[in-house]
Copies of this chain bind each other. A is one copy, B any other.
Amino acid sequence: MKLATLNDGTRDGKLVVVSKDLTRFCPADNIAPTLQAALDNWAECEPKLRNLYTDVEHQSVPCERFHEREAHSPLPRAYQWADGSAYINHVELVRKARNAEVPESFYHDPLMYQGGSDKFLPPRADIPLGDPAWGCDMEGEIAVVTDDVPMGVTSEQAADHIKLVMLVNDVSLRGLIPGELAKGFGFFQSKPSSAFSPVAVTPDELGDAWKDSVVHLPLMVDYNGEPFGRAEAGEDATFSLAELVAHAAKTRDLGAGTIIGSGTVSNQGPEGDPGKPVADGGRGYSCIAEIRMIETIRSGEASTRFMRAGDTVRVEMKDRDGHSIFGAIEQTVVDI
């Protein structure tokens, strides 16, 4: 099943069911007015939404043309957004760039930060930047949405609470991160609003590409119209998304509509090395910080600058037949 939230001028938008090929939608607000409302009552809403999805696929209900640009993030605002670091290769590269160590515990105890969730950007919205010196970066990631998760669940139990999968561009202000992390309380100003893919899908939509709560497909990140990242999300995941959900629920219940992110998708190179840019035949990177690290390793200094007004990022994932699964995040940085 594929769901989206259309921007109808309200804060929470309007829930719609989208066809598998992303061309048509049917309003679902007679089942639940918003995606949050559906998640609040998922056991009752899910079968109704799935029936509607079948009708949309069979074209047995009136549908309208779906335009990704009219979609908001599936949850335009959420009660919780927590981002993990499933792909330790990213952490290793970014820490190397900061001359910081990766503690051994990171390989069995997931890193996770509590993100701001009060106002996400729509998937086609500009990224407002107050100062180029803030070092604006994209981070291409996978995220899941849960129903109510009881405190203390195991990873196996957590897997059953993953109701939807989507993509996210976790906007990061690299210039503000070192100072903020040095204060010891984690990210705040350095993590402004993120944007999610136009469409969220149930895990079964991924077929056998959803295995052990990991998505086994490449994440396509384009930067200024060129391929920038083609990381295999199914490789080098130290933690599954279910393990990240269980980590989040260790000391408290998680409310329905909780979004948990994978962290930047990142692969090692074939020899356990940091890999190569797409232009050099490698899988590239899902954020600029990583390529800057590679450049530093190679030539002593980073040559790719962070994003400025006019720079564009596109994040998408295609199934094995080449069809877009979630629609594309497409954003342009603007000065404000």
A interface vs B, CB < 8 Å?
11, 40, 77-80, 82, 100, 103, 105-106, 109, 111-119, 128, 130, 134, 151-152, 173, 176, 179, 181-190, 192-193, 247-248, 250-255, 257-258, 336
* Docked CA distance A125–B106 (Å): 34
Pick the contact of A40 from B11, B186, B251, B336 — CB < 8 Å? B11
Cross-chain contact A183 with B251 (CB below 8 angstroms): no
Complex contacts, A190 vs chain B, CB 8 Å = 251
User: In the complex the two chains form, is B79's CB within 8 Å of A118's CB?
Assistant: yes
Given A79-B77, A103-B182: A118 in contact with B176 (beta carbons within 8 A):
no
Ranked nearest first, the 4 interchain pairs of A and B with the lowest CB-CB distance are A186-B186, A118-B255, A80-B118, A79-B118
Q: Is the CB of B251 within 8 A of A134?
A: yes
* Docked pose: A111 CA to B40 CA in angstroms: 33
Taken together, the copies of this chain in the complex come to: 2
Chain A contact residues: helix, strand, loop or mixed: loop
Question: In the bound complex, how far is the Cα of B114 from the Cα of A187, in angstroms?
Answer: 8
Other than A80-B116, A118-B258, give 12 A-B pairs with Cβ distance below 8 A: A77-B255, A79-B119, A111-B184, A116-B252, A117-B117, A119-B254, A119-B255, A130-B250, A173-B251, A186-B186, A186-B187, A189-B251
On chain B, the residues within 8 Å of A254 by CB distance are 118-119
A179 to B109, CA, bound (A): 10
Residues of B within 8 A of A187 (CB): 114, 185-186
The residue that A184 contacts in the complex, of B82, B181, B248, with Cβ under 8 A, is B181
Known: A40-B11, A79-B78, A182-B103. A114 touches B188 (CB 8 A): yes
> Would A119 and B252 count as touching, CB distance under 8 A?
yes
Q: Are B106 and A188 in contact (CB under 8 A)?
A: no
Beta-carbon contact of A189 and B79 below 8 Å: no
